[in-house]
Chain A
Amino acid sequence: EAGVTQFPSHSVIEKGQTVTLRCDPISGHDNLYWYRRVMGKEIKFLLHFVKESKQDESGMPNNRFLAERTGGTYSTLKVQPAELEDSGVYFCASSRDRGETQYFGPGTRLLVL
């Protein structure tokens, strides 16, 4: 069984540009999560999808971040326009049901210059 995959693995962009991160969860996992780790800080929750619906988006930092999960399969996280403080590692995780183990992807390393 393939694990959670994320694309790209790295992205370097300039301030003001747009970046779109993609996450493919484990097949059959209805729950999809986005987390972010800023350098020197802990991993922090961004949002939670159940199928295509946003269950909890309390961790989204501001309206420059837009997450979608059309069709309830893969998800994208768009940052527009990117700011310097958006640099960090963005992790995606998925789980089959509520309360079950969240399996993490390898992360996308984003650097905004």
Chain B
Amino acid sequence: QKEVEQDPGPLSVPEGAIVSLNCTYSNSAFQYFMWYRQYSRKGPELLMYTYSSGNKEDGRFTAQVDKSSKYISLFIRDSQPSDSATYLCAMLTQGGSEKLVFGKGTKLTVNP
């Protein structure tokens, strides 16, 4: 069983739609949960960072962590064509290794 599962999509939505991206994980030691955005031919760029459970909001983006279900989500409101990218979830244990454990990434296209 992979440590982190993420549906690779692709996901195509019209401009203005609400997008929901999700990951599940199996390692209960994960405490830090991140969403990275990766544009074509670029490196991953940190978008959202959450510690333990709960919600975090930043503009049009909301990250949710449900540790009881081992499930994390990223919501994008009022999606824009510029949001078209691959979104990767990544996780980290606390006090242990600094290695990020990534999902495969979901490719999102927002159509104008």
Contact = CB atoms under 8 A, between A and B. Distances in A.
Interface of A: 4, 31, 33, 35, 41-45, 48, 55-56, 58-59, 91, 93, 95, 98-99, 101-107
B43 A91 contact: yes
B45 interface: yes
Interface of B: 2, 4, 6, 32, 36, 41-46, 49, 88, 97-105
Contacts, number: 56
A42 B44 CA distance: 12
B41 A106 contact: yes
A42 B99 contact: no
B102 A101 contact: no
A30 B98 CA distance: 13
A6 B49 CA distance: 25
